[in-house]
């Protein structure tokens, strides 16, 4: 018996270390863990003691004598699991599922603030990751040892919408070489200016997904909180630039396994490993992602389908709605809100409205707005430039003149942003495109005025000036897939920034060439060039 117990304990320790199951009756992984322990104990008991049975009855008695306790434990847990699963079945608890998400009616024009054209977030996740990898390639001390993680999360950093991403060790050899100092930096990608900032740390991050053994963030969390059920672990940055891991904790509120809902978050300092648990109502305001977008979509679908009971969702489907096929994020009131369209279960290309849900507090608002869903809006934008075969990114929802508006970038086959588009949600035949965000918004404002929908304030004219002289210096850099040139004229200390794609003359410039440059007046060493003419 002692040998069997010892083997079972060793097996359990190894299993727990590798699989990290939550010690909680509300998770299926816990039952798997206990069943495995029972099976190992029984097998070991029979193997160690050995027995040559004379007949089936004698062998059965031997099995019962050796394995009574683990079999009883496994059977009891199996009964608990079956009963608990039935108790949480949507067939019996449909209205409880519908009440997981508390929805309020909202006023879009009043609650979603308008943003100026120079504050519109222009980056989707793919573009942000591309920029992060390009920036990483410029950092010779990091690129040989670390890799940018494939994902990036939208957060508000000091009231600025950015995408934050972290680094992973390149491989196990590079982990071994660098584990003492940890991961020395993380990246922030400004979603408006598209600037990538490398945030170097005085002391490296010792806890991350790419760490091995006890400093792996998932293992660190499980050992500190063995009974917590973790849904997501997200990378966050506080207002002082300190990196954290935000681990969302959930519980099952309906039966044993149904009704997943957020209870709070564990915040782990990525440098020191210090951690603290916060109920959802007490999570610090700088945290942006507690409620996962996937969980929010799941809860809304319960809300839309089961408000009138289970059988109505199957037979009549009266008033049944669901979320559309995608979602995106809005920065509002120093929080990140996830939004998605709401459509009927019939699955057409129209929306009944859309929802906004605060990812920190789970405050949810519904806005009535019949119109195009996101895919229809993307098709409208692509149709406006069909001669180029550009593909639209998943749209961002904006308030333009009180009108819900889809804003999206248009990319070519190389995933480079070439144009921008705005589509009116209610009347998606109203489409405006432009080579710049400013031009796109101007065209959209004209469309709204022409159709008698809204009067949008014109974009303030740029204070434009002109410089003429001979080129003294030329530099270049790549941003968002385009080559930009910094041109300094003789007897001047400023550089004029020119997009080579828009003004090909910049590509063939030489020192001493005579040029005329129109530029946007401003302060600083680099000014935004508006046009270039080579004499």
Average pLDDT, the chain: 89
What does the block give as tokens for 140?
Answer: 């010779």
Three-class secondary structure of residue 453 per DSSP:
coil
Instruction: Please say whether the beta carbons of 70 and 8 come within 8 A.
Output: no
- Tell me the per-residue pLDDT of 153-177, one tens digit each, with 9 for 90 and over: 899 888 888 999 999 999 999 999 9
| Rounded Cα–Cα distance for residues 80 and 31 (Å) | 10
Query: Can you state the angle between helices 28-49 and 56-87, rounded to 10 degrees?
Result: 170
Q: Evaluate if residue 481 carries a pLDDT over 80.
A: no
**pLDDT score recorded for residue 178:** 95
* Residues in Cβ contact with 355 at an 8 Å cutoff, skipping those fewer than 6 apart: 103, 300, 323, 339, 340, 342, 364, 365, 366, 367
**pLDDT score recorded for residue 56:** 65
Quickly count: other Cβ atoms within 10 Å of residue 4's Cβ: 21
Select, from the ranges 293-297, 342-346, 432-436, the one with the highest average predicted confidence (pLDDT): 293-297
| Rounded Cα–Cα distance for residues 251 and 266 (Å) | 14
Closest to 261 in 3D by CA, of 307, 284, 239, 229 = 229
Question: Which pairs count as long-range contacts for 316-323, CB under 8 Å and 24+ apart, including other chains?
Answer: 317/345, 320/344, 320/345, 321/345, 321/352, 323/297, 323/355
Quickly count: other Cβ atoms within 10 Å of residue 535's Cβ: 8
Read off the pLDDT of each residue in 450-460 and give the average, rounded to a whole number: 68
> pLDDT confidence of 455, banded at 50, 70, 90?
low
Read off the pLDDT of each residue in 447-476 and give the average, rounded to a whole number: 78
Of the candidate ranges 20-29, 354-363, 467-476, the one whose mean pLDDT is the lowest? 467-476
> pLDDT confidence of 53, banded at 50, 70, 90?
low
> pLDDT confidence of 230, banded at 50, 70, 90?
very high
**pLDDT score recorded for residue 54:** 61
**pLDDT score recorded for residue 40:** 94
Read off the pLDDT of each residue in 206-218 and give the average, rounded to a whole number: 96
| Rounded Cα–Cα distance for residues 165 and 180 (Å) | 21
Domain made up of 464-534: CATH architecture: Beta Barrel (2.40)
> pLDDT confidence of 93, banded at 50, 70, 90?
very high
**pLDDT score recorded for residue 67:** 83
- What pTM, to 2 d.p., does this model score? 0.81
Q: Evaluate if residue 88 carries a pLDDT over 90.
A: yes
Helix (H) or strand (E) holding 356, with range, is strand 350-358
| Rounded Cα–Cα distance for residues 504 and 489 (Å) | 18
| Rounded Cα–Cα distance for residues 439 and 342 (Å) | 30
Sign of the CA dihedral running 119, 122, 125, 131: negative
- Tell me the per-residue pLDDT of 136-157, one tens digit each, with 9 for 90 and over: 988 888 988 999 998 888 998 8
Strands 526-534 and 514-520, sheet pairing: antiparallel
Instruction: Please say whether the beta carbons of 98 and 169 come within 8 A.
Output: no
Percent over 70 (pLDDT), the chain: 95
Q: Can you say whether residue 452 is alpha, beta or left, with left for phi > 0 and alpha for psi between -120 and 50 degrees?
A: left
Closest to 291 in 3D by CA, of 361, 364, 218, 235 = 361
Read off the pLDDT of each residue in 337-341 and give the average, rounded to a whole number: 93
* Residues in Cβ contact with 289 at an 8 Å cutoff, skipping those fewer than 6 apart: 153, 155, 232, 234, 236, 246, 248, 336, 359, 360
Percent over 90 (pLDDT), the chain: 57
**pLDDT score recorded for residue 140:** 83
Render 454-477 in DSSP notation, one character per residue.
Answer: --PPPPPPP-EEEEEEEEEEEEEE
What does the block give as tokens for 90?
Answer: 């949507």
CA 404 to chain centre: 22
Read off the pLDDT of each residue in 447-466 and give the average, rounded to a whole number: 72
Three-class secondary structure of residue 132 per DSSP:
helix
Q: Evaluate if residue 49 carries a pLDDT over 70.
A: no
Residues paired with 169 in a beta bridge: 146
Question: Which pairs count as long-range contacts for 279-287, CB under 8 Å and 24+ apart, including other chains?
Answer: 280/361, 280/362, 281/361, 283/360, 283/361, 284/238, 285/334, 285/335, 285/360, 286/236, 286/238, 286/239, 287/236, 287/244, 287/246, 287/360
Domain map (residue ranges) of the chain: 2-87, 90-120+291-460, 121-289, 464-534
Q: Evaluate if residue 392 carries a pLDDT over 90.
A: yes
- Tell me the per-residue pLDDT of 257-287, one tens digit each, with 9 for 90 and over: 999 999 999 999 999 999 999 999 999 999 9
Q: Evaluate if residue 128 carries a pLDDT over 80.
A: yes
């Amino acid at each position: 018996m002692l040998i069997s117990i010892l083997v079972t304990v060793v097996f359990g320790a190894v299993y727990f270390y590798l699989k990290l199951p939550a010690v909680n009756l509300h998770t299926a992984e816990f039952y798997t863990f206990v069943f495995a322990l029972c099976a190992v104990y029984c097998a070991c008991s029979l193997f160690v003691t050995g027995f040559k049975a004379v007949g089936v009855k004698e062998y059965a008695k031997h099995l019962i004598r050796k394995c009574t306790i683990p079999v009883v434990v496994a059977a009891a847990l199996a009964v608990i699991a079956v009963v608990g699963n039935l108790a949480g079945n949507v067939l019996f608890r449909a209205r409880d599922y519908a009440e997981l998400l508390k929805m309020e009616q909202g006023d879009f024009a009043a609650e979603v603030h308008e943003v100026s054209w120079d504050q519109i977030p222009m980056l989707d996740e793919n573009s942000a990751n591309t920029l992060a990898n390009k920036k990483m390639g410029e950092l010779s001390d990091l690129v040989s040892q670390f890799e940018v993680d494939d994902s990036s999360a939208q957060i508000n950093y000091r009231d600025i919408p950015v995408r934050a991403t972290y680094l992973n060790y390149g491989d196990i050899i590079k982990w071994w070489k660098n584990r003492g100092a940890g991961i020395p930096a993380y990246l922030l990608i400004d979603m408006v200016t598209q600037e990538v900032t490398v945030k170097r740390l005085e002391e490296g991050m010792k806890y991350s997904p790419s760490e091995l053994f006890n400093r792996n963030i998932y293992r660190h969390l499980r050992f500190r909180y063995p009974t917590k059920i973790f849904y997501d672990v997200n990378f966050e940055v506080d207002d002082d630039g300190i990196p954290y891991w935000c681990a969302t904790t959930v519980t099952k509120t309906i039966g044993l396994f149904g009704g997943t809902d957020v209870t709070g978050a564990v915040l782990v300092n990525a440098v020191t490993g210090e951690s603290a648990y916060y109920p959802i109502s007490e999570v610090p305001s700088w945290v942006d992602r507690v409620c996962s977008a996937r969980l929010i979509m799941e809860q809304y679908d319960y809300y839309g389908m089961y408000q009138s009971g289970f059988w109505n969702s199957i037979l009549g489907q009266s008033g049944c709605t669901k979320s559309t096929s995608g979602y995106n994020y809005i920065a509002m009131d120093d929080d990140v809100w996830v939004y998605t369209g709401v459509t009927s279960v019939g699955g057409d290309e129209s929306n009944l409205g859309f929802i906004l849900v605060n990812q920190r507090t789970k405050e949810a608002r519904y806005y009535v707005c019949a119109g195009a869903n996101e895919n229809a809006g993307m098709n409208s934008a692509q149709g406006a430039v069909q001669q180029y075969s550009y593909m639209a990114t998943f749209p961002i929802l904006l308030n333009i003149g009180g009108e819900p508006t889809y804003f999206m970038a248009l990319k070519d086959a190389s995933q480079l942003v070439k144009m921008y588009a705005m589509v009116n949600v209610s009347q998606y035949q109203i489409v405006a495109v432009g080579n710049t965000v400013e031009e796109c918004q101007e065209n959209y404002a004209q469309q709204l005025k022409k159709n008698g929908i809204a009067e949008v304030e014109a974009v303030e004219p740029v204070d434009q000036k002109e410089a003429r002289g001979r080129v003294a210096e030329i530099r270049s850099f790549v941003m968002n897939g385009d080559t930009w040139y910094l041109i300094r004229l003789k007897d001047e200390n400023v550089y004029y920034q020119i997009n080579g794609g828009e003004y090909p003359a910049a590509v063939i410039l030489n020192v001493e060439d005579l040029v005329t440059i129109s530029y946007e007046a401003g302060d600083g060493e680099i000014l935004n060039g508006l046009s270039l003419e080579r004499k």
